[in-house]
Amino acid sequence: MTDKPRIAIVGAGAVGAYIGGYLSRDGNDVTLIDGWPANVDAINANGLTLSGLTEPECFNAPAKALHIAEVQSLVRSRPIDIAIVSVKSYDTAWATAMIKDYLAPTGFVLSLQNCINEETIAGIVGWGRVAGCIAAKIAVEMTSPATVRRGVALGGNKHTVFRVGEPHGRITPRVQQLVTMLSSIDSARSTENLWGERWSKLCANAMGNGVSASTGFSSNEVAREPLTRRLQIKLAGEAIAVGQALGYALEEINKHPAEDWIAAASGDAKALAAVEASRLAQTKTTAEGSRPSMGQDIQKGRRTEIEQINGFIVEKAAEIGLEAPANAFLVEAVKQVERGLADPSLDRVRDAPLGAIAV
């Protein structure tokens, strides 16, 4: 075996291609796998072109890619040591099953996705071959085949972007190896709290993605509009309450501890003012027009992850006797837009159940 592990990235969309561009630039043995023929052809012909808010983030890296119909060719090469699954959550099972047969005996699958997919992956490859990675506040968009733009500032010392952990919570050599690799992209650390990190990221996704998708607003427009900003807070408060009831140790969410969001969502004036101020402050470091992944999906006419994000929160709430009405409302609003039954508009969320923080 060579010094560097063999890496396959299953899903060369915005996140997968962004990660793949940096890892390829750093000399890692990376193969990207994707179902979009134009993307695969562009990667093989011209490499991956990445851009961001600073000059060092703008570069082109030679890279290699396979169409999903070509994955069987991996049988003729060295087995995969690390399979990074970076597809939409609803595609997790088939993507994992596809790469499973090409893993090395000690190979494993890393979920680098929104939502909580480790259990699905473990059902296919076993718990011992699963690790998870949260990518927080990365805000990347594939603007054309093999081209990815990042719309927010690097985390650096202010915010840890990548958090890598094992389902059992111990820090293992493979987690440390992944942290080292990802540190060349942005700030990264290991975590003993994968499940708490996962639910915390789920809360952040729940408050941003569906609101953008249903209204058509960019991230900054969502923050500036009082109705959508308050809806974000209500969504976060519900999601956090469910996560705490499930026993997760939640991390800081968008610069505030969980208790601040719950207090704000319940109408506490001081907490509400604080989280609204931070929502507005975030617009100063986010590129105008930048949208979360679900907002991008609607623009491109694709299926969203609304059921795996806000729908998942509603489902888990029901299992423990709680309700998440704002999240349930948003699921239906996004589905209307997703199915072409309504246009994205502020009207989609005017009747959202905001309770004590109604505008």
- To the nearest whole number, what is the mean pLDDT of the chain? 96
In the chain the domains, ranked by start, together with CATH numbers, are 6-192 (3.40.50.720), 197-357 (1.10.1040.10)
What percentage of the chain carries pLDDT values higher than 90?
96
CA distance 255 to 267: 19
CB 124 within 8 A of CB 130: no
* pLDDT at residue 269 in the model: 97
C-alpha closest to that of 311 among 217, 195, 213: 213
Which tokens in the block code for residue 233? Answer: 């807070």
How many other C-beta atoms can be found within 10 angstroms of the C-beta atom of residue 341?
Answer: 8
* pLDDT at residue 1 in the model: 38
**26: helix, coil or strand?**
coil
CB 272 within 8 A of CB 357: yes
* pLDDT at residue 2 in the model: 52
Average pLDDT of the residues in 164-187: 98
**31: helix, coil or strand?**
strand
pTM over 0.85: yes
- Angle at alpha carbon of residue 269, lines to 264 and 275, rounded to 5°: 45
Burial of 325 (0-12, 13-18, 19+ CB in 10 A): middle
Q: Which residue has tokens 């709290």? A: 193
Beta bridge partners of 162: 135, 188
* Contacts by 322-326, CB closer than 8 A, 24 or more apart: 322/241, 322/242, 322/245, 324/238, 324/239, 324/242, 325/238, 325/353, 326/231, 326/234, 326/235, 326/238, 326/352, 326/353, 326/354
Which tokens in the block code for residue 55? Answer: 């000059």
Average pLDDT of the residues in 69-90: 97
